[in-house]
């Protein structure tokens, strides 16, 4: 079985960005909004800052406590939408349950929505891939991983496990447009095995540790694991039981080390693209 590691894909994307921006006078600026106290989120932000700063960009954070009113967060986003010193705005997810995630995301201006999760960008993406200002970073990461390892999509049967708005719903539309036959299974599918066992390519994004075993996949299938959770020992794991699946799969993206590193690179790409668009006359 071949492991589809994300590090070389990340390096390829970041090298391209470095070469493009090495002599630029522009300093791309990403503003992250963090609501509540989440250690995992703080770690993700630190990693994003490291990558963006190494490319010559800037990442700053505005923090809110769980007691702050949602209206305060919304008004802050609106102010950043018109701030010409800020190129991209990112709402660090998840936010506390008392907040309406959709409302906050949809307050972000389309041309600063570098995570590609606001309705304006998602709606355009559902209509046609090239109509969206920014693709969601994780969605683009999956596509970059597949392209790097030359995994064909045209005329292949792809099974998506999970129907979340952040990953698999956008992927569904893109994969069909690229010539794949796509089946989606989700939490309301009584038994996913009859579907997953026929997938040439299986992409899972549920956050349920160990959900996908060898019994779920077709012999020689390519498996992309976008899931993220922690096991009983606190270790990061994906949706796939890698020990079981590796005896049957043709290729597997590991967790950690697969889609994750590419996602951060794709976010950096979106931030730098937003800065370029923001620098254009009349932007």
The larger pLDDT score, comparing residue 122 to residue 141, is at 141
**Could you tell me the pLDDT band of residue 11, with boundaries at 50, 70 and 90?**
very high
Residues 143 and 242 in one domain: yes
- The predicted structure's pLDDT at residue 282: 66
Is the pLDDT at 36 greater than 90? The verdict is: yes
As a whole number of angstroms, the distance between CA 240 and CA 28 comes to: 36
- The predicted structure's pLDDT at residue 252: 98
- The predicted structure's pLDDT at residue 200: 98
Tens digits of residue pLDDT in 100-110: 999 999 999 99
- The predicted structure's pLDDT at residue 205: 97
Residues 98 and 171 in one domain: no
As a whole number of angstroms, the distance between CA 135 and CA 175 comes to: 13
Provide the terminal-to-terminal Cα distance of the chain, rounded to the nearest Å.
48
Determine the average pLDDT of the residues in 146-154.
97
- The predicted structure's pLDDT at residue 123: 87
How would you classify the pairing of strands 236-237 and 229-230?
A: antiparallel
As a whole number of angstroms, the distance between CA 28 and CA 38 comes to: 26
Which active-site residues does the annotation give?
48, 92, 115
Flag whether 35 is in a domain.
yes
Q: What is the CA radius of gyration of the chain?
A: 19
- The predicted structure's pLDDT at residue 124: 87
CATH of the domain at 251: 3.40.50.720
Residues 165 and 254 in one domain: yes
Domain that holds residue 46: 26-113
Do 82 and 237 meet the contact criterion of CB atoms below 8 Å apart? no
Flag whether 3 is in a domain.
no
pTM: 0.94
CATH of the domain at 62: 3.40.50.10860
Lowest mean pLDDT across 6-15, 19-28, 183-192, 237-246: 19-28
Flag whether 79 is in a domain.
yes
Flag whether 244 is in a domain.
yes
């Amino acid at each position: 079985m071949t492991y589809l590691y994300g590090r070389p894909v990340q390096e390829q994307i970041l090298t391209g960005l470095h070469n493009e921006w090495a002599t630029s006078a522009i300093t791309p600026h990403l503003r992250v909004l963090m609501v509540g106290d989440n250690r995992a989120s703080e770690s993700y932000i630190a990693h994003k800052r490291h990558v963006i700063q190494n490319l010559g960009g800037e990442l700053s954070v505005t923090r809110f406590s769980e007691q702050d009113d949602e209206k305060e967060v919304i008004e802050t986003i609106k102010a950043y939408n018109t701030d010409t010193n800020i190129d991209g705005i990112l709402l660090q997810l998840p936010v506390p349950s008392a907040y309406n995630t959709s409302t906050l995301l949809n307050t972000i201006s389309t041309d600063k929505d570098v995570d590609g999760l606001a309705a304006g960008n998602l709606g355009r993406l559902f209509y046609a891939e090239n109509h969206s200002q920014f693709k969601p970073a994780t969605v683009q990461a999956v596509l970059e991983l597949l392209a790097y390892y030359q995994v064909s999509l045209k005329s292949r049967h792809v099974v998506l496990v999970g129907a979340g708005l952040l990953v698999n719903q956008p992927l569904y539309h893109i994969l069909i447009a690229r010539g794949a036959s796509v089946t989606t299974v989700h939490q309301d599918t009584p038994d996913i095995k009859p579907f997953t066992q026929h997938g040439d390519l299986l992409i899972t994004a549920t956050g349920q540790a160990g959900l996908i075993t060898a019994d779920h996949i077709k012999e020689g299938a390519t498996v992309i694991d976008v899931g993220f959770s922690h096991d009983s020992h606190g270790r990061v794991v994906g949706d796939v039981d890698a020990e079981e699946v590796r005896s049957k799969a043709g290729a597997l993206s590991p967790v950690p080390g697969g889609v994750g590193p590419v996602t951060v690179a794709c976010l950096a790409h979106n931030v730098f693209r937003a800065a370029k668009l923001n620098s254009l006359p009349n932007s």
